[in-house]
Amino acid sequence: QSVLTQPPSASGTPGQRVTISCSGSSSNIGSNNVNWYQQFPGTAPKLLIYTNNQRPSGVPDRFSGSKSGTSASLAISGLQSEDEADYHCAAWDDSLNGVLFGGGTKLTVL
């Protein structure tokens, strides 16, 4: 059972802006950085956003991250068909002394 809560699914049409939420608590998102990962079926996850809002080299600026209090969000603007994937958030938890992942959100481009 994930302590970081994500919606199981999200959808949008090409060109649209979509946001995916990740809700936690004071011991994880509230006091630590959030990372986001993109995963296509049958492949390893790929780092998409680190330290709440930083993009690794090569990640399009259509992807952005934000954090406020005990929640974080991933926004994808100018949605493209190739963005159809699973998205996972993660943060360290000070109480558990470990990393928590969200349950993942399956993004469908209609």
Binding residues for other proteins, rule CB under 8 A, total 23
Closest by Cα among 104, 109, 107, 94 to 22: 104
Candidates 85, 100, 107, 109; binder of other proteins (CB under 8 A) is 100
The alpha carbon torsion through 43, 47, 52, 57 (nearest 10 deg) reads -150
User: Among 16-24, 45-53, 59-67, 68-76, which window interacts with other proteins (CB under 8 A)?
Assistant: 45-53
Contact call for residue 88 and other proteins (CB under 8 A): yes
Residues 20-39 that bind other proteins (CB under 8 A): 35, 37, 39
User: Among 12-20, 48-56, 60-68, 76-84, which window interacts with other proteins (CB under 8 A)?
Assistant: 48-56
Tokens for 96?
């558990």
Contact call for residue 58 and other proteins (CB under 8 A): no
**Residue-by-residue DSSP string for 20-77:** EEEE--TTTTTTS-EEEEEE-TTS--EEEEBTTTBPPTT--TTEEEEEETTEEEEEE-
Identity of the residue, 56 or 69, whose beta carbon is nearer to other proteins in the bound complex: 56
Contact 12/20 with Cβ under 8 angstroms?
A: no
User: Which residues of this chain interact with other proteins, rule CB under 8 A?
Assistant: 2, 35, 37, 39, 44-47, 50-51, 56, 88, 90, 92, 96-104
